[in-house]
Structure 1
Amino acid sequence: MSKYPAISKLLPLLLCFPLFGCERNGTEAHFETYHQRLANVLEAPAGAAPETQLPPLPDIRVLMLPIEEIRIGLLDAYELRECGLFQLIAERNSTLGRLQDKTRQMRYELLFMDGLEYCLSTLPEDSDLLPQLEQFHRLKRHQLSRYLWNMLTTGEEWRRQFNLFTHAFPLNAFPGAAENLEAMRYLQYIHQLIVRGETLPPNQAEGLLHHQEAIHTFRYFGQLVYSMARASEWLTTTTQLLEAHESSVICETNRNQQQAEYLSNVFYRFYAADLQPYLAELDSQYQQIQGSLLDLLEPPQELSTQFSPYYQYYVAGQLYQEYRQAILNHVRFWQRTFKRCNIKVGLQH
């Protein structure tokens, strides 16, 4: 027996508190109950809970793009003090600067590019540093997209968003949605600047740290796509149950339609009231974030083989099409049944 009984009683609650609670996944239970109630009305055995096998996010060692380290000597860099680049380079070359995480590395590269372009425009035309700085500018411009890729796919807080999180969203809560959407739109803006060969204004670079902090407690996209995949599996399993017994549902004139009415009641109580709004919200959230991710996560050519399965399934829309089709198949069953049984849509018995 614990020496601290009060703490022993509180410990399970504390362990479950941080993000998702201790309940058995309520969404999973709702899909299961919906399926089971329909099976009871049909007097048929319920199907087993579906298994969901999904392509994982590749390992960090697979996704990390090599980037040639380009350093400018401090003696030469000191000559850049008048255009403001000296202090930035000195901080980067310090011990703390060398230990920066991926987000701060990206921030440095953006600030460096802005400072470098200012120096190129203000140094005297006869400066011995100009040829070297112009070479740095070409190399750094090419590297920016690689720094952004490495930050997204190997930086701790960002990668956490894309790793699968095998716990479906609650029916009425989608933690991290607003924070992730804002973060990805901000990164898409940076990506578009890089593609166009433009620089990010220095006062906007701090947004990287702000968004990193805002998303670090969530696992949003990985949870979103898992929720969609799990919903698809449950809907497909339930539609198969209904279609297998569709012919046994009696809906003839002057015949007792009690079974059809019971099925209708289950539909309205579990699907129309709770699952349908949940499915619509998943659809909406996916569509909102997909555009940014299509740009940000398009795999570099050297990683197309390793990353394409993830990209095609989650980002390019394969999972989304399967999700929409599962919903459509399920709704079509109910449309056929309501029409055949002359049950008015929108009225719950």
Structure 2
Amino acid sequence: MLEDYISRLGNVLDLDASLDLSDIHPTPLPRRRLRILEETPVRQGLLEVLELRQCDLLPLIARRNSSLGRVMKPSQKLVYELKFIVLMRQCVNRISTQELEPEVREQILNIWAIKQANLPAVLWNSLYNTDEMEANFSASEPPLDLPSEDISEKRLQQARFASVKLSLQHFQQLSSLAGQPHNWPLPDFIDDIEDDYLTLYSNRFGSRWQRSLVLATATLNQGAILIERRLKSRPFCFSGHRNQKAEILMNVFQKYYAGQLQPYLANIHQQGEVWLAAHEAILTPLQNTLPDAMREYRKDYLDRSNEKGQWQQYRQALRRHTAAWQDILGQCDMMPDGTR
């Protein structure tokens, strides 16, 4: 659709307008080794203290030390760490009113301090250093589908996006724990968090949206360049006179730009605003934790306000493209109502 639009625009402007979008891809996340954050381990000797009845952590620790527990996926490790922290908090509250040997009390408080300090890194590693999140920033996924006119298919597309939005909202709630007081409860969805990871992995909306965004940006810039080049070389219409070419140009505008490209851009824009805002909400509580490589990536590809970032480049291309159409249609006295 994008290449066909540029081809038709070039034809009516009498300009060579080849546009090959096959090698335009979004930029994936930095390599995982550049994103991973170290977590301070709790020494095994300290964990032995937690087998005391005061902490009720023995079943949880036993699962963690099992053969399956040693190869936990990031999502499962996140659940373990959050449940551990909640039980540790209860333990610390209980021992405040109990008589314990000073050494035991100090060890329990030491473990509690380590787990609290680790939480931002645990959240970061479990949310963004996963196969599921990497799939949403892959460079190899196809762009988003064209908006469907079939009602059932349209509803299916909307339902898929709604499921992604909900999963990212759950990630937002988890991320927010990094900046909250330490009396937070476990999220009510925590035992079903695997469903959210599965949604992101199977849907891969983020990767497809970013691919659509870079393709749309290239198309908009190319369309603007063609119109600007033609107007710079010679007028398309003289003194508002509509010639035969002007009627063909209007057909390209109405059928291929307004009829096909604009609905696709509207979809990219609306869903992109939601997707970027969700990642902004996830990352903000972790901003002091982010590794350097991710800080740069966030600025370039996820920050909606960065004038040199990917989103603003798209917005600039859209404004340039709109202005070019206004110039050429205005020259031919064919400006549709509400264009400006």
Scaled to the shorter chain, the TM-score interval is 0.7 to 0.9
The answer for the alignment partner of 1:309 in structure 2 is 296
Q: Which amino acid aligns with 2:181?
A: G
The answer for the alignment partner of 1:277 in structure 2 is 263
The answer to whether the Cα contact below 8 Å between 1:188 and 1:296 also exists between their aligned partners in 2 is yes
Q: 2:14 aligns with which of 28, 43, 48?
A: 43
Q: Which amino acid aligns with 1:142?
A: A
Aligned partners of 1:170 and 1:101: how far apart in 2? 31
Q: 1:229 aligns with which of 211, 214, 218?
A: 214
Q: Which amino acid aligns with 1:303?
A: P
The answer for the alignment partner of 1:243 in structure 2 is 228
The answer to whether the Cα contact below 8 Å between 2:63 and 2:69 also exists between their aligned partners in 1 is yes
**Which aligned pairs between 1:126-137 and structure 2 lie closer than 5 A?**
126-128=99-101, 129-137=104-112
The answer to whether the Cα contact below 8 Å between 2:276 and 2:302 also exists between their aligned partners in 1 is yes
Aligned partners of 1:148 and 1:83: how far apart in 2? 23
The answer for the alignment partner of 1:329 in structure 2 is 320
**Which aligned pairs between 1:6-21 and structure 2 lie closer than 5 A?**
none
| Unmatched runs of 5 consecutive residues or more in structure 2 | 148-156
Q: 1:205 aligns with which of 173, 190, 194?
A: 190
| Unmatched runs of 5 consecutive residues or more in structure 1 | 1-29
SS in 2 for 1:163: coil
The answer for the alignment partner of 1:268 in structure 2 is 254
CA deviation after TM superposition for structure 1 residue 231, in Å:
0.4
CA deviation after TM superposition for structure 1 residue 344, in Å:
4.5
1:177 and 2:164 are equivalent in the alignment: no
TM-score (norm 1): 0.82
CA distance 1:281–1:157, shift in 2 (3 Å) = same
The answer to whether the Cα contact below 8 Å between 2:5 and 2:257 also exists between their aligned partners in 1 is yes
The answer to whether the Cα contact below 8 Å between 2:121 and 2:289 also exists between their aligned partners in 1 is no
Task: Report the aligned-residue RMSD.
Answer: 2.4
Aligned partners of 1:291 and 1:134: how far apart in 2? 37
CA distance 1:59–1:328, shift in 2 (3 Å) = same
The answer to whether the Cα contact below 8 Å between 1:57 and 1:164 also exists between their aligned partners in 2 is no
1:320 and 2:311 are equivalent in the alignment: yes
The answer for the alignment partner of 1:163 in structure 2 is 138
1:338 and 2:329 are equivalent in the alignment: yes
The answer for the alignment partner of 1:142 in structure 2 is 117
Percent identity among equivalent residues?
25
The answer to whether the Cα contact below 8 Å between 2:78 and 2:126 also exists between their aligned partners in 1 is yes
**Which aligned pairs between 1:72-91 and structure 2 lie closer than 5 A?**
75-80=48-53, 83-91=55-63
Mean Cα displacement is larger for which, 152-161 or 142-151?
152-161
The answer for the alignment partner of 1:190 in structure 2 is 174
Aligned partners of 1:143 and 1:103: how far apart in 2? 16
The answer for the alignment partner of 1:259 in structure 2 is 245
SS in 1 for 2:203: coil
Q: Which amino acid aligns with 2:230?
A: H
The answer for the alignment partner of 1:113 in structure 2 is 85
CA deviation after TM superposition for structure 1 residue 83, in Å:
4.8
CA deviation after TM superposition for structure 1 residue 58, in Å:
1.3
The answer to whether the Cα contact below 8 Å between 1:157 and 1:216 also exists between their aligned partners in 2 is yes
Q: Which amino acid aligns with 1:49?
A: D
The answer to whether the Cα contact below 8 Å between 1:151 and 1:158 also exists between their aligned partners in 2 is no
The answer for the alignment partner of 2:154 in structure 1 is none
> For residues 172-209 of structure 1, what are the alpha-carbon distances to aligned partners after superposition, in whole Å with 9 as ceiling and x for unaligned?
25795323221222111122222123334264322422
The answer to whether the Cα contact below 8 Å between 2:49 and 2:108 also exists between their aligned partners in 1 is no
Aligned partners of 1:287 and 1:302: how far apart in 2? 22
CA distance 1:76–1:315, shift in 2 (3 Å) = same
CA deviation after TM superposition for structure 1 residue 301, in Å:
5.8
Q: Which amino acid aligns with 1:237?
A: Q
The answer to whether the Cα contact below 8 Å between 1:114 and 1:202 also exists between their aligned partners in 2 is no
CA distance 1:67–1:83, shift in 2 (3 Å) = closer
Aligned partners of 2:199 and 2:242: how far apart in 1? 58
The answer for the alignment partner of 2:280 in structure 1 is 294
Aligned partners of 1:121 and 1:46: how far apart in 2? 71
Aligned residue pair count:
315
By relative contact order (CA 8 Å, sep 6+), the higher-ranking structure is 2
Q: Which amino acid aligns with 2:16?
A: P
SS in 1 for 2:202: coil
Mean Cα displacement is larger for which, 62-71 or 95-104?
62-71
Q: Which amino acid aligns with 2:176?
A: Q
